[in-house]
Amino acid sequence: MPLFTGPLLWDHDLIQQYDLSGPRYTSYPTAPQFRDSFTDEEFQAAVAKSNLGGKPLSLYFHIPFCETLCFYCGCNKVVTNNTSRAKPYLERVAKEMAQQAQLFDTSRPVTQLHWGGGTPTYISDDEMTWLMEATRRHFSLVDDDQGEYSVEIHPGKVSASTMAHLRKLGFNRVSMGVQDFNPRVQKAVNRYNSVQEVSSLVSALREQDYRSISMDLIYGLPLQTLESVRETLDQVIDLSPDRLSLFNYAHMPHLFKSQSLIHESDLPSPSEKLGILHMAIERLQAAGYVYIGMDHFAKPDDSLVLAQQAGELQRNFQGYSTHGHCDLLSFGVSSISSFGDVYLQNAKRLDEYHELLDSDQRPAVRGFTLSEEDKLRQWVINQLICHFQLDFAEVKRRFGVDPTVKFAQQLEQLAPMVEDGLLSLDAQGIHVHNSGRLLIRRICMVFDEYLNASSEIRYSKVI
């Protein structure tokens, strides 16, 4: 598969023209399409298909607790200093695992495991051990360190000793939310981690032989300037993480109450925000990072880059992934599973999650079964968002349809993008140019049947 190695072509006017609101396509159909009327028959059919397919497993655990509130955060979280709330929650998670283990073929290897949040390191070292032991009782974890077992951390609130403990439990990858190193920005969003703290932690992680260190940054935060973000980037590049994510801060206080604590007057203007993004992408590429797509960057020898080169890169609920071939089983409040052509989402409220499990019910409250049409469009969107091209012959081979006929209307909608130089369209397929890579979400939206049928669903801006 071709891999873009040159700099992105930046056209400020075109970016503004196409910078609409749209999904991130961590799934297709996207979560707003999930429905409450998902039936037990659909669930059982999906379990049977998963077991028959024999795919490896990917496990996700949502640990929602945080000690402090980060004002920008849109995650499902519970902010509390009462650490005694964690164990009752983990006991419910273990009960959910037991429910699933009775239904699924758990002899399949768990090749990917992820703890997300919230702040997973909110729980104690003993609770971490307890959760991993419970997981091992129910599922076949790999013990040769070849699986991708990752944990999200707040680098300002975790000790090197806890990270050493996680390494002994089998974790080999770390994703840390740095966001920004500027003290004024940190104060404005109530998120603190100094360069010194992160540097010391990174050194410890390397001594502990973690295989991959990923850092998350956010652009568009209050009080950020071009110079302040450049300074943060230089400090991050010096730390040399294996992967970097550069997320767009979407200010939507009507959806996320904590964001109302951010003063809108402190936010960079749209043009300043674009300038920050342009600088950041150029700076990261100059430092040797490969632009994977959307907001992800990685070193040339990283598995994400290798997967993209091999045409095997996928999208899932954690973003770009090398394990899209797995069946995903997720545990905990609000978590989303994906197996056997279904998506299944747990209750979003902690009390409802507890109540369902206490009454011996499954905590999943919403779901979606993909039709053949959904699976076709899912594959098309995945090809575009991961590999920036669509091979018409491969569409016909996989799905038995002529894409030039099936998607005649959608291809017409791409005509203005062809004229604007974002992509090319010929008898062989669609090829996204360097100038269109930043706008790949907008290109994918053309093939989203549900988005085109509804104007009510609100998403963040593409850029």
List pLDDT tens digits, range 299-316.
999 999 999 999 999 988
* pLDDT value at 18 more than 90: no
Helices (H), 21-123: 40-53, 86-101
Report the run of H or E that residue 160 belongs to, with start and end.
Answer: helix 160-169
CA angle 208-133-81, nearest 5°?
75
% of the chain with per-residue pLDDT over 90: 86
- Residue closest to 255 by CA, chosen among 450, 65, 24, 460: 460
Domain range 33-328, CATH architecture: Alpha-Beta Horseshoe (3.80)
The two three-digit tokens of residue 76, written as one number: 């499902």
Which residues face 245 on adjacent strands?
216, 296
List pLDDT tens digits, range 400-450.
999 999 999 999 999 999 999 999 999 999 999 988 998 999 999 999 999
Residues 6+ apart with CB under 8 A from 351: none
Sign of CA dihedral 266, 268, 270, 273: negative
- Residue closest to 414 by CA, chosen among 438, 439, 396, 434: 439
Strands (E), 56-137: 57-63, 65-66, 78-79, 109-117
Q: Give the integer Cα–Cα distance in Å for 68 and 333.
A: 19
- Report pLDDT for 246: 95
Sign of CA dihedral 369, 371, 374, 375: positive
Mean pLDDT of the chain: 94
CB 63: neighbour CB atoms within 10 A? 28
List pLDDT tens digits, range 47-95.
999 999 999 999 999 999 999 999 999 999 999 999 999 999 999 999 9
Q: Give the integer Cα–Cα distance in Å for 315 and 449.
A: 18
* pLDDT value at 155 more than 90: yes
Secondary structure of the chain: what % helix, strand, coil (to 5)? 45, 20, 35
Q: Domain extents for the chain?
A: 1-29+372-463, 33-328
- Residue closest to 460 by CA, chosen among 274, 265, 260, 247: 247
- Report pLDDT for 317: 83
The two three-digit tokens of residue 293, written as one number: 């797509």
- Residue closest to 305 by CA, chosen among 229, 240, 244: 244
List pLDDT tens digits, range 364-402.
999 999 999 999 999 999 999 999 999 999 999 999 999
Distances 316 to 111, 297, 377 between C-alpha atoms, Å: 15, 16, 15
Residue in the structure block whose two tokens are 């909608």: 413
CATH code assigned to 1-29+372-463? 1.10.10.920
